[in-house]
Homo-oligomer: A and B are copies of this chain.
């Protein structure tokens, strides 16, 4: 049991997975001697050697494709894309190959790889360094898409992702990398990839989020509690496939739902959750579902970034609107 930041928890999980299974290898830009630009792999090349911690050329298509080939051939590659904004060239390999090998060979060949990428804004990074395009990946049949919201979740979910027999995209909210720490036990225990986490029980409304936005969501829930409004908070953690049962049950209990994400509104993953409720929990809805999200704009450069990010205030506004609705 140690206090760890999220980046430490990720590093700890990577080391644990590599200790446990010689087939686990890491690859990506600057993951070796530099330890990753965020230090997720710091010290691992020293510990596991340059053949298991591989600095790649600057080639996102090949990073993904090499991971696919290696996974199909029996390794468990964990590949890093340095920032989500540079992940697009990897989509072809993910959608056309990683997600399909098991299906198209009827189980003969499988692709147990993990693609890690830091995502999201709020740290004043340069353009193309703050995107949240998880919905694009979550639309691809055959992929799992996971995003942790705390150090302990990062540890357990990353272990689960690496051990999973199918491809997983693991999206790390970089705003949380060093935003706080919590006790993480390096016991090799994975967290399930098929259940969401109820972070807080509540009776009046359900707030659903994932990744870094849970900070604002929790803050909002605190404030709402002060106003006598009891919010249930659900951390989706695994977006694809997500725990529809938990979200439905919660909303069927509370009757109200606010969904929060950083990605642009239109066709964001929040749409899926709202749609699922409109389809399966409609009669329980006492108020319109609200989505508090990034706008349908390019993520602004740092000077205006704060105006783009869904704020606690915007969440509160939505929550109050939902509560006041009649």
Which positions in A face B, CB cutoff 8 Å? 61, 85, 88-89, 91-92, 95-96, 99-100, 103-104, 127-128, 133, 135-136, 138-142, 240-241, 263-264, 266-275, 277-280, 282-283, 285, 287-291, 295-298
Contacts and interface: CB of A to CB of B under 8 A. Distances in A.
A108 to B, nearest CB: 15
Given A133-B139, A278-B278, A289-B279, A88 B91 contact: yes
B282 A289 contact: yes
- Copy total for this chain: 2
A287 B278 CA distance: 9
A4 to B, nearest CB: 32
Contacts of A266: 138-139, 141, 240-241, 272
Contacts of A241: 266, 296
A68 B139 CA distance: 26
Contacts of A88: 91-92, 95-96
Contact of A285 (B103, B273, B282): B282
A127 B283 CA distance: 41
Given A282-B285, A283-B288, 8 more contacts: A96-B128, A133-B139, A139-B264, A139-B268, A266-B272, A278-B288, A279-B291, A282-B289
A291 B264 contact: no
A59 to B, nearest CB: 12
Contacts of A96: 85, 88, 128
Contact of A279 (B100, B128, B279, B288): B288
29 contacts: A88-B91, A89-B89, A89-B92, A99-B298, A103-B297, A103-B298, A133-B139, A133-B140, A135-B139, A136-B139, A138-B266, A138-B267, A139-B263, A139-B266, A141-B264, A141-B295, A142-B298, A240-B267, A241-B266, A266-B272, A267-B269, A267-B272, A274-B274, A274-B275, A275-B275, A275-B278, A278-B289, A279-B289, A279-B290
Contacts of A290: 279
B267 A274 contact: no
A89 B103 contact: no
B271 A95 contact: no
Contacts of A280: 288
A100 B297 CA distance: 9
A174 B258 CA distance: 39
Given A91-B88, A96-B128, A282 B271 contact: no
A104 B277 CA distance: 37
Contact of A298 (B133, B138, B141, B263): B141
Nearest to A136: B136
A267 B298 contact: no
Nearest to A94: B88
Contacts of A103: 297-298
Nearest to A60: B92
A137 to B, nearest CB: 9
Nearest to A145: B267
